Amino acid sequence: MLKDLVEKNRSYRRFCQDFPIEEKTLRELVDMARLSASAGNLQSLKYILSCEPEKNAKIFQHLRWAAYLKDWPGPSEGERPSAYIVILGDNLIGTNFYCDHGIASQSILLGSVEKGLGGCILASIDRDGLRKALDIPKNLEILLVIALGKPKEEVVIENLGPDGDIKYWRDKDGTHHVPKRSLDDIIIGQDM
């Protein structure tokens, strides 16, 4: 069921780094993004694939992980993603990418979960550093990075507490907890 995939599709940040992801798999995931909706059907998104340790390491150093987990600097060696998909906007095709990259990301991540993988969208990126590291041409705007791998952590959804705090947190066993607002809190103009 699609709902099961959506529920399972959490942001995973710790992975079995030795678990290989082939380029063929990344191509299949980008193909799902290719078939997704695009504003004005411009299809301005381009993608860089990475599944080799050397290229992965170049990308990793320009990413910022889990801003709410103040004491956690990001996944340590051995727990890092096995692959990345860098989503770029080609400003030779269009200069406004609307929410195309969000839709593309969700297609990629749902496809990943269906394959037994998992990932995390990252927008907190040292874009200048990543551009230099991967030699990305000026016409391609760095929009998002999708980190992918075999998840090595448990992520659970919680109901938002009475204090209304939306910050995710980790318990002593390392389980990652993500508070979500209730359905009634987000649908307005209805008396339930």
Contact 112, 148 (CB under 8 A): yes
Residue corresponding to tokens 């987990």: 69
Residue 64, interface with ligand FMN (CB under 6 A)? yes
Rounded Cα distance, 116 and 19, in Å: 12
Rounded Cα distance, 188 and 183, in Å: 10
Rounded Cα distance, 134 and 183, in Å: 42
**Min separation Cβ 65 and ligand FMN, Å:** 4
* Inter-helix orientation angle 100-114/23-34, to 10°: 130
**Min separation Cβ 119 and ligand FMN, Å:** 10
| Contact with ligand FMN (CB under 6 A) among 5, 16, 42, 123 | 123
Range 148-187, binding ligand FMN (CB under 6 A): 155, 168, 178
List of residues 6+ apart from 161 with CB closer than 8 A: 179
Pick the closer one to ligand FMN by CB: 11 or 44.
11
Pick the closer one to ligand FMN by CB: 123 or 134.
123
Number of residues that bind ligand FMN (CB under 6 A): 14
Pick the closer one to ligand FMN by CB: 73 or 137.
73
Residue 16, interface with ligand FMN (CB under 6 A)? no
| Contact with ligand FMN (CB under 6 A) among 19, 47, 65, 98 | 65
Pick the closer one to ligand FMN by CB: 60 or 168.
168
| Contact with ligand FMN (CB under 6 A) among 21, 26, 66, 130 | 66
Rounded Cα distance, 54 and 105, in Å: 24
Strand 155-159 with 176-180, pairing: parallel
- E strand or H helix that includes residue 102: helix 100-114
Pick the closer one to ligand FMN by CB: 169 or 184.
169
End-to-end CA distance of the chain: 27
- E strand or H helix that includes residue 24: helix 23-34
Pick the closer one to ligand FMN by CB: 10 or 92.
10
Residue 120, interface with ligand FMN (CB under 6 A)? yes
Q: Could you list the residues that contact ligand FMN (CB under 6 A)?
A: 10-11, 13, 64-66, 120-124, 155, 168, 178
